[in-house]
Structures are given as structure tokens and as C-alpha cells.
A and B are shown apart, each in its own frame.
Chain A
Amino acid sequence: MEIAAVFLPLAAAFIAGFFGRIIGDRGAHVVTCTAVVVAALISCVLFWQVAFLHQPRTIELFTWIDSGALEVSWALRVDTLTAIMLVVVNGVSAMVHLYSIGYMHHDRHQPRFFAYLSLFTFFMLMLVTSDNLVQMYFGWEGVGVASYLLINFWYEKPSANNAAMKAFLVNRVGDFGFALGIFAVFLIFGSVEFDTIFAAAPAQAQTTISFLWFEGHALTIACLLLFMGAMGKSAQLGLHTWLPDAMEGPTPVSALIHAATMVTAGVFMVARLSPIFEYAPTALMVVTVVGALTAFVAATIGFTQFDIKRVIAYSTMSQLGYMFFALGVSAYSAAIFHLMTHAFFKALLFLGAGSVIHAMSDEQDMRRMGGLADKIKVTYWMMWIGSLALAGIGIPGVIGFAGFYSKDIILEAAYADHTWFGMLAFWLGIVAAFLTAFYSWRLLIMTFNGAPRADAKTVAHVHESPWIMLGPLVVLAVGSVLAGAVFYGSFVGHHSHEFWGKAIFVLPENDTVEAAHHVPFWVPWAPLVVALSGIGTAYWMYQIRPEMPARIQAQFAPLHAFFYNRWYFDQLYDAVFVRPARWLGFELWKKGDGAVIDAFGPDGLAALTREAAARSVRLQTGYVYHYAFAMVLGVVALIAWFWLAN
């Protein structure tokens, strides 16, 4: 059953990828959707068995590498953490597959698209089911490749090409750290198997290793390196620049890969490695600070953008920041809880945005939208539900949307950590919550309310999406409404210890989730208050006084420009890394390769060969006496050679 859940998508990808021309678009739809839907249903059963009947298991497939002390096997490790990820990955993937049938129906390369989607699903499953770091790295790189392929799906577009390369290259930086982290783990523990590492972690808590020029705390160094990988994959501040650009890919891809699953791989990885991170408090501090800053910075950028997908992309980055500072304050369960609820409502928002884009004939700029509420009613309400969940609306202690439960527990845990970085995270999180609500309603109002700002032709063409697209939206909306309320008790409530089993590990003195239930009464209410005020501000600025944004923008022009230009990260990286690298590459190409290697190598040798050929042809005069002379000369030369050689 576990094998089916993981390998069905691979089989489907294989069939759709290599036989797509034979089975056609319809065949590719049927094969991939069936496989992923079945995998999703199996995942639900597994989740039930593992998380509620407490039957975690590890299935050894076969040995992969056996070299000296290094032994790596292919295995499927299914515990509560994995089971949650299985449901999220396969569930969202199934919805996205179905949705794509409608969204992509104009495209000429559908089998390729579905093959990539299924392939991505497989790699993601490989990542979450691994029981060692090397297999995880395999899945990690695999999702990177699938992401590259899917961002670049419309490969005729230069912008898609650039975005795909950027995503791949920025991720390489993180992956480099991840790889180093794996080496460090192997150096410290002599193994890459999770069970071995986790068992040995307490014993290694005081070990030091030398790294670069200094001697440092071994686990901290390893964890920071591993976290570098997580930063790349999960678009944390510093290595985040690829995520907004990745929106060049088709919208279902953004929903699946760049919102719900792949970008959360970093969160999953840190949670999975919680038994090591717990013994590296410095690393946890770094995780918290980076996460909190990301949540804040991304939100500030998000509320100035006009591209509907970019707004949601920055929102994703911001929410990932929440997850990371939750991890940083040892609230792993809260982070995973938010990961799950976020997967529902962010996939919902992206697919809803896709539905809008679909209706608007591929228009993505919100300045040219408006007045769509009546024309695409279902999409409108779905986006409302998604936004409510994202903003975290609910009444503490009573009821709320999914995001309300997970975001609140994160903020409470940060508060309950009682450290300076916990407090920093809490306050930045509160500000980010305000901004989140603000930009969500800014998006809703700009897109759906007011007068239409598009040209007449586009407006006339606006139509509700088919049910194959709306169906997944409804399913995800149900999840966005209920997931929080249903699973709160299990994930972070009073049954959480039985629920998680040994999947995550928290030192008793770090148990912030438990402490979160005993914070002052105003802490749970603060996020709600700021969220509601964010909604109110947005409503006032964009609905009641539409001329306000322009005035405020003029008033704070430098600040707006700073936010609008994404804190100048891209410009900075361009100046510091990209241009020098391009310059170096260009110089090496023109001077090093062209002028030196080519001139003396291929070109020079070719010219030399041509010359030699011409000369040796000229030897052949056609006169017998020349030939005879050559023979006699040859004999003489051989004898002479003979004498010289001896």
C-alpha cells in the first residue's frame, strides 16, 4: 500500500511522458489523474492507520549504496509526520491534476505537462518518505528538477526560461549547504540513517568539529548547513528571490509546487530533523530570526504588488516565514499544522487566481481587473474563503477558519518561548498578520469589486470556469474551512503526544506548544484584532476612498518604492553576484576559451590537420621513380634508425 502511494505517480509520469503521443491528451489525463487520486485515497487510509491507530512503519525496499561505512537504502518511512505530508502532497496534487484538465485544455503539450506534474509528485513523495538523508536529497533534487521543468513549461517564453534558471541556480546555493550538512552529519554520526542519527544525537550534544577556519559546536554547524538547504527550497529571506519569478509557470504549478508542497519541504526537513535541531539552540535561534524576518519582509512587499500571482507568491513566502519561526521556537507540531492548513488555503487561492486569470484571458495585472464578482460568482466566494483562512479569522476558543487555528498557535508559541527572538518573531508576526489581511482584501477588492478596468473585449469574454476546475476549488475550500477545527486537538492540542508518537522530538524544557495554552488572554486575540483592522483598512482605502492609495503612495514615495522594488534584493544580487559572474563567464569564454583553448586546441589542431593532409597528399606524385626512391630511402632510414636506437 505504501509502495502504491509512492510509485503510482511515477508509473503515471512514465506512461504519460514516454507514450504521451500514443495515448493522447485524454489518455494522459486519465492515467495521471487516476494514479494520483488513488494515491491520495491510499494516503488518507495510511494517515488514519499511522496517526490515529498508531502504527508507524518503515519498509525497506533495497540497499542503494553500500560503500565502506556508508550504507544507504531505499526505504519508505511512514510515521505521523510522513503521513501528514502524504495526505497533503497527494491530496493537493490530485486536486491540481483535476483542475489542470480544465486549465490547460488549450495547450498543445498536455501529456508532457501531466507527466511533469506526476513526476514532481513522485519526487516529493520520495522526499517525505525517506528514512535517510541521502534519499531525502534525491527527492530534494528531484523536486528541484521537476520545478525547473514546470516553471519552464512554456519554454518559448524568455521570461520563463530566465525564471526557471533563476529558481534552479538559487536553489543550488541552498542545496550546496544541504549537501555540506549531510556530509557534516555523516562526519559526526558516521551514518545518514535517521534512526541512528536521532538515537545518537544526545550523546553528540557537546561535540565540536572544525569548519573552515574555526572550531565550532558540531550540531550547530550541521544544523545551520542543513537549514541553508531549507532556506533555498522554502524561499527564506536571502534565498527567496526565485519564488516570485517562478510564477512564470502555469498557475496549477504555482499552486502545487510553489505554494502547497515543494516550498514546504524545508519546513518538513527541519521538523523531521527535530531530534538534532533540539540540541543546537543557536541554530534554532537563527531559524527563528530568519523566519520572522521573512514573514515580515515578504508581507511588506506583497501589499505593494499588482500582479495577482505575485501577491499570493509573497504571501506564501510570508506564511513560510511563520512556519520557520514556529520551528525555531520548537513548536514543530504547530509549524506542520500551519503547513497543512496553508496547503489547503494557499492552493485554493492560487487555483482561484488561476480561475480569474482564465476568465480574464490570461490577464494577471490587478490594475486591469475589477468588477468580476458578479460574473464569476463561485470563484469569488472561493477566493473569499481562502482569504478568510489566510487572514486567520475566527473567534478564540470558539470557532474559526483553518488558518486561524494554526497561525494563532504559532504566535502563541512564539510568545510563550520567552526569549528575545521569540518576542521578535511574535511582534513581527503580528505586523505581518495585519499586512496579510490588508493585502488579501486589497487583492479581493481590486479584482472583484468596483468598475471593470479591462478592455471591452476581455470583459465580454469573462466566463466562469468549468466544473472540472471549480470542483477542486470546492474541495480545497472545505479543507480551508474545516481543517483547523478538526485537527487542532490532535496536532497541537491535548492529544498531540499520542498523535505524533516519535515523529517529532521536543526537549521538555522547550515545549512551547504546551506553554502556548497558558499565555495571557490578549495574546490569542491580538492576531484577530490586527487582521480585522487590516481588512478594515483595505476596505476603507480601496472600496470607500479609492483615491487614497495614490495619495499615500505619493506621500511615502521612497518607502513605497523600497517595498515595491522588493527591498532591492534582485538589484543587489544582480550587482553583487550576477554581473560579476556573467563578466567572469564572458571573459573566460571569449579570452580563456576562445582565444586560448580554441585557438590552440580545436581550431589550431584542425588547421594543422588540414595542412598535414595537404602535405601528405602532395607526397604522392604518381612517378614510379619517386616511389622507388622512397622505398630505398625507407630501407636506408630504417637501418639508420636501427643503428641510432641501439
Chain B
Amino acid sequence: MTVPSLLPALPEIFLACSAMALLMVGVFRGEGSTRLVSVLSVVALLVTAALVLGAGSERTVTFNGQFVADRFSAFMKVLVLIGSALSLIVAMDHLEREQIDRFEYPVLILFATLGMLMMVSANDLVAVYVGLETQSLALYVLAAFRRDHARSSEAGLKYFVLGALSSGILLYGMSLVYGFAGTTSFDGLARLFGHGSVPSVGLVVGLVFVAAGIAFKISAVPFHMWTPDVYEGAPTPVTTFFAAAPKIAAVALFIRVLTEPFGGLAHQWQQIVWVTALGSMLLGAFAAIGQTNIKRLMAYSSIGNVGYALVGLAAGNENGVQGVMIYMAVYLFMTVGSFTIVLCMQKDGRSVEDIADLKGLSRTHPLLALAMAVFMFSMAGIPPLAGFFSKLYVFLGAIEAGLYVLAVLGVLSSVVSAFYYLRIVKLMYFDEPVVALDRPIGMGATAVLAGTTLFTLLFIVFQTPIVAGAATAATSLLAR
């Protein structure tokens, strides 16, 4: 038996080894080693990102066709790693304040991230499942991380039960596909569907089940129901992480599964994506209006954002996929930035989560309010902020594919969603402060906030490398 080439999977192998090593560090140094483990974890994530970027850019397949590394996977992996690292940085202070700073936290994040990298690079349905479960198990634990807290436990349990159901749906779909196609390999499936032959009913049903399973992970309508409860119940640093990294990995997985093995069935799955995209955009826009809790609001906002990303996927062309990638990159920074501000919402040492607590923020924390305003305007899609361009690229792809109805409805729902984004700005700038939030907000949070705000503000200036990178990545995925 020959050993497969390990080089393409070097980042994953490095991350797995460092996660286990850091687990050992934590175990042997005991409580109080959290900060050290956290810092080392961030370093490990950044090194992994460097390894991803340092790898060759041409497509390589290894582990008997189970694992693939290409430009697309590199782009999305870097986003995932940045998301994990940023959410870990902003989490540290908060965990200490809330006295849940256990060393398992960073280690769990590393394992979850490892699972996500696997998802992004999966080239076989079995590999998909392995990556997805590696990620999910870590996430279940993270959601219930504050185990002495009823809401956190509830969030963990809900997420676990529903996640298990979705895993079941996914696995059932995979078995259907295998049963009717005779292979689980992406390359094999792609060959099978590449001839334009009419797929059998079982295959199509399998495809729908697979899509539903992944749609759960990106919380697309109608598989979104867990999102608000889990986002609200889980500790805020965990929510930050949930909103950032796993979303990106799952979207990447969704793109790869739909375009590579099932690329030949584009006409079929476009319908599904079309419906889920529209549902997510509308629900994200309307349900968020009725929220009073900022984390729940952000949950609906993320549902809506996924809807917009799916518009690009529904287009199914290179521009659409490029749009999704840009969308996720911008989404990552905006989300981490806004959640950092939510993390900073403290009154007398206690975290608060009501939207009303942001009242008059512009007078007590002018810079914080400014950053939040930038994120809100950006999410609402106001030029020249980053959020405008991400929406623009997605809709361009949709228009090119002739999805006029979807594009128009998407723009309209973004008008509705502008209402709740702008309401936050209004609360911060035009209402009287009730009780001022605590200060200072900590070094890590400040740095992340500054970085994400600048990214959102200056995206218009520095967008060329990101747009170009997304373009080549989309080409590498679709033009094979």
C-alpha cells in the first residue's frame, strides 16, 4: 500500500497537530492557561492560513480522490481561518469577564475549523460528511459552552437535535445518490451528469436531500429555525464564531457540491436555490424588524445575508460564484465587526443584549457608534461601503443568468432590511442615552474593530485583489 501525497493537505495536518498539542498544553498546565492557549491558537490559525496561501495554486487531488486543493478552496479556507482567528481574538476578554474562560474553548474552535477546512476541500460525499461532522460536533459543544446557564444549554441541545436531523437528511440523500449513481466521488458524479442525460428520479431526490442537509448549516430558509434561538442562547463569542467561520465553510461546500459533482444538473438545483434564496432574503428582512434582542436581530440578518449569497449561486455562472465569494468575504468582516460591538455591550460589568441599550451610543462612545454605523450602512448596502459592492456583484451574476425576478425581489427585500439597520443608526445617533456602556473595550476588540471598519470603509479602494482572486477561484471551479 502506497502512502498518498500529504502535501496538499499540509495546512489541515498542521492544524490538527497543533490542536492536539494545544489540548495537551491546556491539560497539563490546567486552569489559567486559557490565555496562552488562545494566543497560540490564533497563531496556529494564522500559520495555517499562511500555509494555505503558500501552497501551489494549481488543482491537486489526493487521498484517492477524497481531498482536493485548488484556488477556490484556498480562497475560502483563508476566509474561514481569518474568521476563526478574529472571533477568537475578540472572545478572550469577554470569556474572562463572564468567567467561562476554559482552555477547551480555543481548542474546540481549532477542531471546528479543521472540520471546516475538510468541508471546503472535500472531493467525495464521504469526505463531505466527515468534515461536516467534525465541525458540527465541536460546534454543539461550543453552543452549550456555558453549561451552567439554561439558555446556553438549551441552545446546545436544540442545535444538536436539529443538527442530528439534518445530518440524517444529508446522509440519506448521499445514500440515495450512491444507490442510483454507483459512486460517491465528485469526479465520478461529474462524469455521470456531464453528458446531459436525464437523471433518474432517485438521484434528484437524493440531490434535494443533500442540498437540504447543507442548507441547514448555512441556515437558509426553511432550515433556518434553529438560528435565532441558538444565536441568542449561545455565549456571544460563540455566536460571533457561528456567524462567521462555519457559514463560510458551509457556503463553500454548497458551492462545490452543486457546481462540481452536480454541475450537470444545474438546471434542476437552480430551482431549489432560487426558492431558498428568496425565502431567506424575505424572512431575513421581515422577521428582523420585530426583534428587540440584538443577537436575534443579527441572526435574522445573517439569514438574509445567506439569501443574498445564494442569489449568486442560483445564477450558477462564474460571475455568480465570484459574487458569492466576494459576498462572503465582505460578510465576514462586517459580521465580525458588528458582533465585536455586541461583545462590547456591557453595563456595570454585565453583558446586555437589548437593541435599546444602544440608545445614544454616539454621545457616550462616538467611535464605537461610528463603527457600528459603518457596518449597518454597509449591511444595508449603501455605497460606497463594502456591503454595496458585495450585493452588486451577486446581483450582476443573477442578471447575467437572466434571474430578473430574483434580482428585483432581492433588491426590494434589501430595502426592507435597510429599515432595521438604519433603526440602529437612528437609536445610536438621535436617541437619548439611558445608561452609558462600560469602557474601555479592550485591546483585541479595538484592533479587530479598527481593522474590520477600515476594511468596510476602504473596500472600494482595495477591492481589486479580492475581486481578482475571487474571479480566478470561480474560474478554477467552473471552467474545468
Partners in one complex: yes
Q: Beyond A613-B288, A620-B228, A630-B222: 16 further Cβ-contacts under 8 Å?
A: A609-B289, A617-B291, A619-B225, A619-B287, A620-B229, A620-B287, A624-B158, A624-B161, A626-B225, A628-B161, A630-B225, A631-B166, A634-B223, A638-B212, A646-B268, A646-B271
Chain B residue at minimum C-beta to C-beta distance from A610: B289
**Mask: chain B, 225-243; 1 = CB below 8 Å from A; 0 = not:** 1101100000000000000
B100 within 8 A of A: no
* Distance in Å: Cβ of A553 to nearest Cβ of chain B: 60
Q: Which residues of A contact B289 (CB under 8 A)?
A: 609-610, 613
Chain B residue at minimum C-beta to C-beta distance from A635: B212
* Distance in Å: Cβ of B28 to nearest Cβ of chain A: 39
A188–B276 alpha-carbon span in the complex (Å): 60
A609–B420 alpha-carbon span in the complex (Å): 12
A-B contact pairs, 27 of them (CB 8 A): A609-B286, A609-B419, A613-B287, A613-B290, A616-B287, A616-B290, A617-B290, A617-B291, A620-B287, A627-B158, A627-B226, A628-B161, A628-B165, A630-B223, A630-B225, A631-B212, A632-B165, A634-B221, A635-B169, A637-B222, A638-B272, A638-B275, A639-B208, A641-B271, A642-B272, A645-B271, A646-B271
* Distance in Å: Cβ of A614 to nearest Cβ of chain B: 6
On whether the beta carbons of B162 and A627 are closer than 8 Å, the reply is yes
Q: Which residues of A contact B272 (CB under 8 A)?
A: 638, 641-642
A612 within 8 A of B: yes
Q: Which residues of B contact A635 (CB under 8 A)?
A: 169, 208-209, 212
Q: Which residues of B contact A612 (CB under 8 A)?
A: 286
A395 within 8 A of B: no
Q: How large is the interface on B (under 10, 10 to 19, 20 to 34, 35 or more residues)?
A: 35 or more
A633 within 8 A of B: yes
Q: Please provide the 6 A-B residue pairs with the shortest distance between their CB atoms, ordered closest to farther.
A: A634-B222, A613-B289, A616-B287, A627-B225, A617-B290, A613-B290
A622 within 8 A of B: yes
B67 within 8 A of A: no
Q: Which residues of A contact B291 (CB under 8 A)?
A: 617
On whether the beta carbons of B229 and A622 are closer than 8 Å, the reply is yes
Chain B residue at minimum C-beta to C-beta distance from A637: B222
A85–B166 alpha-carbon span in the complex (Å): 84
Q: Which residues of A contact B157 (CB under 8 A)?
A: 624
Most buried by A among B166, B272, B287: B287
On whether the beta carbons of B205 and A639 are closer than 8 Å, the reply is yes
Q: With A631-B166, A635-B212 as given contacts, are A642 and B226 in contact (CB-CB < 8 Å)? A: no
B416 within 8 A of A: yes
B residues adjacent to A (C-beta < 8 A): 157-158, 161-162, 165-166, 169, 204-205, 208-209, 211-212, 216, 221-223, 225-226, 228-229, 268, 271-272, 275-276, 283, 286-291, 416, 419
Q: Which residues of A contact B228 (CB under 8 A)?
A: 620
* Distance in Å: Cβ of B153 to nearest Cβ of chain A: 13
A638–B277 alpha-carbon span in the complex (Å): 13
Q: How large is the interface on A (under 10, 10 to 19, 20 to 34, 35 or more residues)?
A: 20 to 34
Chain B residue at minimum C-beta to C-beta distance from A613: B289
A261–B204 alpha-carbon span in the complex (Å): 81
A613–B289 alpha-carbon span in the complex (Å): 6
* Distance in Å: Cβ of B231 to nearest Cβ of chain A: 12
A609–B418 alpha-carbon span in the complex (Å): 12
Q: With A624-B158, A627-B158 as given contacts, are A638 and B225 in contact (CB-CB < 8 Å)? A: no
A641–B222 alpha-carbon span in the complex (Å): 13
On whether the beta carbons of B287 and A631 are closer than 8 Å, the reply is no
Q: Which residues of A contact B161 (CB under 8 A)?
A: 624, 628
A residues adjacent to B (C-beta < 8 A): 609-610, 612-614, 616-617, 619-620, 622, 624, 626-628, 630-635, 637-639, 641-642, 645-646
Q: Which residues of A contact B419 (CB under 8 A)?
A: 609
Q: Which residues of B contact A632 (CB under 8 A)?
A: 165
Q: With A616-B283, A638-B208 as given contacts, are A624 and B162 in contact (CB-CB < 8 Å)? A: yes
A452–B107 alpha-carbon span in the complex (Å): 98
A631–B214 alpha-carbon span in the complex (Å): 12
A641–B221 alpha-carbon span in the complex (Å): 14
Q: With A631-B225, A635-B212, A639-B208 as given contacts, are A609 and B268 in contact (CB-CB < 8 Å)? A: no
* Distance in Å: Cβ of A603 to nearest Cβ of chain B: 14
Interface of A is mostly: helix
Chain A residue at minimum C-beta to C-beta distance from B207: A642
Q: Which residues of B contact A637 (CB under 8 A)?
A: 222
Q: Which residues of A contact B286 (CB under 8 A)?
A: 609, 612-613, 616
* Distance in Å: Cβ of A51 to nearest Cβ of chain B: 53
On whether the beta carbons of B275 and A641 are closer than 8 Å, the reply is yes
A639–B216 alpha-carbon span in the complex (Å): 16
A90–B218 alpha-carbon span in the complex (Å): 71
Chain A residue at minimum C-beta to C-beta distance from B172: A635
Q: With A626-B225, A641-B271, A642-B271 as given contacts, are A614 and B290 in contact (CB-CB < 8 Å)? A: yes
Chain A residue at minimum C-beta to C-beta distance from B419: A609
* Distance in Å: Cβ of B80 to nearest Cβ of chain A: 25
Q: Which residues of B contact A646 (CB under 8 A)?
A: 268, 271
On whether the beta carbons of B287 and A617 are closer than 8 Å, the reply is yes
Q: Which residues of B contact A630 (CB under 8 A)?
A: 222-223, 225
A628–B204 alpha-carbon span in the complex (Å): 22
* Distance in Å: Cβ of B304 to nearest Cβ of chain A: 12
A27–B169 alpha-carbon span in the complex (Å): 78
Chain B residue at minimum C-beta to C-beta distance from A628: B165
Q: Which residues of A contact B226 (CB under 8 A)?
A: 627
Q: Which residues of B contact A638 (CB under 8 A)?
A: 208, 211-212, 272, 275-276
Q: Which residues of B contact A626 (CB under 8 A)?
A: 225
Q: Which residues of B contact A631 (CB under 8 A)?
A: 162, 165-166, 169, 212, 216, 222-223, 225
Chain A residue at minimum C-beta to C-beta distance from B272: A638
A220–B70 alpha-carbon span in the complex (Å): 76
* Distance in Å: Cβ of B290 to nearest Cβ of chain A: 4
* Distance in Å: Cβ of A626 to nearest Cβ of chain B: 7
Q: Which residues of B contact A627 (CB under 8 A)?
A: 158, 162, 225-226
A232–B158 alpha-carbon span in the complex (Å): 76
Q: Which residues of A contact B221 (CB under 8 A)?
A: 634
A642–B276 alpha-carbon span in the complex (Å): 12
* Distance in Å: Cβ of A38 to nearest Cβ of chain B: 42
Most buried by B among A609, A614, A622, A634: A634
* Distance in Å: Cβ of A621 to nearest Cβ of chain B: 9
On whether the beta carbons of B169 and A642 are closer than 8 Å, the reply is no
* Distance in Å: Cβ of B224 to nearest Cβ of chain A: 9
* Distance in Å: Cβ of A150 to nearest Cβ of chain B: 35
A630–B215 alpha-carbon span in the complex (Å): 13
A639–B172 alpha-carbon span in the complex (Å): 14
Chain A residue at minimum C-beta to C-beta distance from B222: A634
Chain A residue at minimum C-beta to C-beta distance from B215: A634
A119–B342 alpha-carbon span in the complex (Å): 50
* Distance in Å: Cβ of A94 to nearest Cβ of chain B: 45
Q: Which residues of B contact A642 (CB under 8 A)?
A: 204, 208, 268, 271-272
* Distance in Å: Cβ of A554 to nearest Cβ of chain B: 64
Chain B residue at minimum C-beta to C-beta distance from A640: B208
* Distance in Å: Cβ of B78 to nearest Cβ of chain A: 32
Chain A residue at minimum C-beta to C-beta distance from B299: A620
A575–B477 alpha-carbon span in the complex (Å): 73
* Partner pick for A633 among B205, B222, B229, B288, CB 8 A cutoff: B222
A642–B169 alpha-carbon span in the complex (Å): 17
Chain B residue at minimum C-beta to C-beta distance from A646: B268
Q: Which residues of A contact B268 (CB under 8 A)?
A: 642, 646
A366–B229 alpha-carbon span in the complex (Å): 80
Q: Which residues of A contact B205 (CB under 8 A)?
A: 639
Most buried by B among A612, A635, A645: A635
Q: With A609-B286, A613-B290, A631-B165 as given contacts, are A620 and B271 in contact (CB-CB < 8 Å)? A: no
A628–B164 alpha-carbon span in the complex (Å): 10
* Distance in Å: Cβ of A618 to nearest Cβ of chain B: 9
A619–B223 alpha-carbon span in the complex (Å): 13
Q: Which residues of A contact B169 (CB under 8 A)?
A: 631, 635
A609–B275 alpha-carbon span in the complex (Å): 20
* Partner pick for B225 among A609, A620, A639, CB 8 A cutoff: A620
A620–B227 alpha-carbon span in the complex (Å): 10
